[in-house]
Amino acid sequence: MCAASAGCAAWRVASRATLFALQGRAVELRPRDPGAAAPDGRPGLLLLALDGVDRALLYALLEAGELPELGALLGAAPGAPPRAHLDRTVLATLPSSTAIAWATIATGVPPAAHGVVGNEFFLRGERRLVAPVPSSVDDPSDVLAAYTGDLMDELLLAPTVYERMRERDPGVRIWVAMHQIHRGADLLLLPDRTAILDGLRVALQEQVRSRILDADAYAVYEELDDDVVDSVCDQLAEEPAPDVLTVYLPGADLYAHVSRQGPDRARRAYLTRALDGRIGALRRALEGRGALANRWVVVTSDHGHTEVVHDDFYSLGVDEEGEPAQVLRRAGYRVRPFTLDVGPLEEEFDAVLAYQGALAYVYLADRSGCLERGRACDWSRPPRRREDVLPAAEAFFRNDRDGLHASELLDALEMVLVRTPGADAEGAPFEVYVGGGRTEPLDRHLRAHPRPNWPRLEARLRELASGPAADRVGDLVLVARAGDEVPLEARRYFSRPYRSHHGSPAAKDSEIPLAVAHPRLDAEATRRIVERALGAEPSQAGIGRLLLALRETSP
């Protein structure tokens, strides 16, 4: 495997090299006029995108004054709480994971509309697995293509907020620092490529060999975030600040995944010791350009974190024995190999697994045309419910109770969801499999088996799979026994081994921060603006709508 070999330092970069990765730290995405000014009175916008930081943790640190530089960026005087509005209602997408969440914020529409439905997912018509944040494959080519190329932009089926801003204001100047989505921006700012590769190396080595020390991981991720901020500061030294600036800082999330301290202690240490100082450097660089006097500051995240046990038993991975693929194989399915690309001898698969942390997607083919060896399945056709979908659901349901196919998956699942093809925005896109070929409506199941720690589950599932991109979600969704309400020794997750994970419907994974400030407004005035943009059921899609509204809202 690539992650286990020092000889794979380049990780097949050459095979999927992008022009972005080769152009250096500042990549022009469209012709720019560095001297162009924003329209009079239109406020600037800074989106500070912190990966993997839940609401309770960030707000506690802010209110205790333990993040003085972030507090100052949000308008707080020294020793005082921020003047920003701190929203306490927004929930992450489901699954509560990186790629799907940032795509939702960057488009302002739900996953079923924008098309990035998970950290990895299968494109049926193309017979292609994409893994911008891989959990089941070792090849990080798609990670590099997401951050230094345009993979995520190509996967989107909806316009980005940057493109929509440009429709309203063709002269708007937009910079994006490292964020996976940058379609519509003028400039993509990248950290040093070595910092990105080092971050991937640490993450993959931790999964496979568990030999990374906390101090080493901390240093690598601190350097990565340092380089992101340095790329912005260097550009600000050369030209005026843009009207819209997005800065993505992944270090807290990456460190939480691998740290032996547990996710809360690890992120607290990282935020206070490593990240806050870099935010201060960014603030001073913007102030030096006079770019904060009339600028909205928005701080948000994609998901939280829940501690898990770093062990092959708890991680539902890709080994030959005792894993989800074994359940499918013993039920008569041919499972796609866990690689980005498959060779001609491996193309006869009729089942695909894609992992989302606490969830897993199971894609199934119509097997009627590919029963014979040597015939590839036509993945453009939907599977048959009785012959293709329900037998797989039964295999997972029964194995969860008797462990017959894979003993390690005994008592590992909370539920098996069966996707309902063609569900509209008002319909329920999933039913719960209850055994014997039977399903029941999700609302009825939840009345009989309440999940009070899974906020707005039905609405979030509609956002995931009621829309034009629904076929990018699995025909089955396996929900692991995960989340902080489950005892640590009972938590399971679909991934190679980690020390912390996310993706579940649980509140700790799902409650994300949203801090909004403008130097001319107090928290109450800002609150009214934010709540009007978010609407009655605040979601991550609402954050995208908020960004558009703030750009047009001058205090």
**pLDDT digits 0-9 by tens, 462-473:** 999 999 999 999
**pLDDT over 60 at 505, yes or no:** yes
288 sits in which H/E element: helix 276-288
Output the CA–CA distances (angstroms, integers) from residue 502 to 266, 397, 402, 410, in the order listed. 15, 23, 27, 21
**pLDDT over 80 at 12, yes or no:** no
Cα separation, 264 vs 252, in Å, equals 10
CB 409 within 8 A of CB 324: yes
Q: Give residue 473's Cα distance to chain centre.
A: 15
CB 461 within 8 A of CB 349: no
In the chain, pLDDT over 90 holds for what percent of residues?
A: 76
In the chain, pLDDT over 70 holds for what percent of residues?
A: 88
Q: Helix or strand or coil: residue 23?
A: coil
pLDDT at 419: 95
pLDDT at 372: 83
CB 172 within 8 A of CB 184: no
Angle at 273 between CA 270 and CA 275, to 5 degrees: 65
Class of residue 401 by CB neighbours under 10 A (exposed 0-12, middle 13-18, buried 19+) = exposed
Confidence of residue 17 (pLDDT cuts 50, 70, 90): very low
Residues 6+ apart with CB under 8 A from 60: none
- Which of 9-23, 210-224, 227-241 has the lowest average pLDDT? 9-23
- Mutual angle of helices 540-551 and 523-534, in 10-degree steps: 120
Cα separation, 305 vs 503, in Å, equals 8
Instruction: State mean pLDDT over 339-350.
Output: 84
**pLDDT over 90 at 72, yes or no:** yes
With CA atoms as reference, report the closest residue to 121 among 430, 400, 465.
Answer: 465
pLDDT at 108: 98
**pLDDT over 70 at 196, yes or no:** no
Predicted TM-score of the model (pTM): 0.93
Single-letter amino acid code for the residue at 25:
R
Q: Any idea which residue has 């993505």 for tokens?
A: 248
**pLDDT over 70 at 39, yes or no:** no
Please provide the DSSP assignment of 401-447 as one string: HH-SS-GGGTT-EEEEEEE-TT--TTS--EEEEEETTEEEEHHHHHH
Domains and CATH numbers, the chain: 2-113+138-304+512-551 (3.40.720.10), 324-505 (no CATH)
Please provide the DSSP assignment of 499-522 as one string: SEE--SSSHHHHB--EEEE-TTS-
**Chain segment 142-157, per-residue pLDDT in tens:** 988 898 889 999 999 9
For 275, which DSSP code? Answer: I
**Cα distance from N-terminal residue to C-terminal residue, the chain:** 55
**pLDDT over 50 at 2, yes or no:** no
Q: Give residue 165's Cα distance to chain centre.
A: 23
Instruction: State mean pLDDT over 372-382.
Output: 89
* 95 preceded by a cis bond (ω within 30 of 0): yes
Instruction: State mean pLDDT over 202-230.
Output: 75
Instruction: State mean pLDDT over 8-34.
Output: 53
pLDDT at 11: 32
Cα separation, 259 vs 307, in Å, equals 10
Cα separation, 443 vs 222, in Å, equals 44
Mean pLDDT taken over the chain? 89
pLDDT at 374: 79
pLDDT at 203: 60
Other C-beta atoms lying within 10 Å of the C-beta of residue 208: 16
Cα separation, 168 vs 281, in Å, equals 31
- Start-end of H helices in 74-192: 98-107, 111-114, 141-147, 151-155, 161-168
CB 418 within 8 A of CB 476: yes
Confidence of residue 194 (pLDDT cuts 50, 70, 90): low
Q: Phi and psi for 192 in degrees, rounded to 5?
A: -55, 135
